[in-house]
Structure 1
């Protein structure tokens, strides 16, 4: 659009023999605006010939015209503008009485593309607000959407990456199991969060984490506060979890270092030969037959169940 204005202005200045103005290297804003008004006037003469003729002769358009609701009129330079009810407003005249353009006009398409580039590939609402401040383009919304669909840059940035086909759900999630919840559980961490050991003034808060246990059958959630990401901290949370919810037969988790180390300690504890806990706890877990399952490394999509639980917890704690 800018190139068309510059070329038309330069040609007009060169072909005007009566003009005493020297043709300089640069064109001023007044010349460019006059050129744009001439282009708009030519375009309106083609698209709204009948309306402009009626306004010149009778100062009003026919009632069967599609644009009678806009109360159009001709301004001082012969451009067709919207009438409206903002004549008492202190707004600029170009904003109060915008220029009427047709949807099928090539000029309207050039103006929409020019606005799309100037607004740095902005959205539909931004482009419509920008164009409506000066032009009343009939069917503007359709033109703006068409411009966005045909823009290669917008299409490239809005394109979706290829989504891999998800695998089957684990057997424990689709088959009936024991009625006791948390018999088969998934575990994950969230945080860090601030934890206070006591109430009152003058007490410090410490960094802690949330250990989430989620039932693979009922999706019930159990939360435990953990002081750190060590294996001992998790084993303490695991003991509190089993004391409250009952024995746990199977556990699923990702490949976090604390989980891997905890699984190793649980295996040693089940052997009862190198147990770090007391004999009663070792015998209890050995009788429970707790087994640990890890999802593949760097594949969090396999743990979508507890990831969704983490999201829900963060939503309610925020």
Structure 2
């Protein structure tokens, strides 16, 4: 069956266009919509598919038939699919506790190695970046570790505690050096509590250590972001130069100062607006300009 259209006397138009084949809806023959949809390389919309069909066929309620097939097309489903949205869980309790000083609750992570020259005829040495991140003020403290063993980390942890204060709670991944450090601290704590006469004063200095799950870096977003930023700034400072231990340590401190100078909130371009807080405000207790003036 063919349809009589208002173009039946237009002899310059092909016969199939003037008298298209009439097809019912929801019939297996009508599935030829698939052919014209694929002919448009899956990129043609509904109107383009209907235009191609009208050159030979007339489908009853063709628009709805075309839309139904587009919903069944696997290629269109993949092309039009929306990206999955990550459901953000509530923040853990250790990030929401209030503290009166920085680095009371901190996280630690390692990166490296960095190769440093030791002198003529001596082999190059590997050193590592040990980053301590404050969970309250988002401040960072960068230490240079001379190895990945437990002893090297314990020395870096002692240097940080001597300058920033002993943390009350530590968070890290399940690295062997961190687990070994926790065991050493627990062993040292038990020995000092048993032998020391100042038992009541020392109990308040016990460090609580929390380990994240293995192979789950997304649990460590607080300090993984800081590690990436620290590596980027250190490489920008050093470049491809051959460096010594002293130069590497200086680059660590410069990177630490840059990271602690970042604003914690959005900074506008209006000079009359208040200066946003930075981690250095919490570490120094004043603005950097006032610090240099005094």
TM-score (norm 2): 0.48
TM-score (norm 1): 0.45
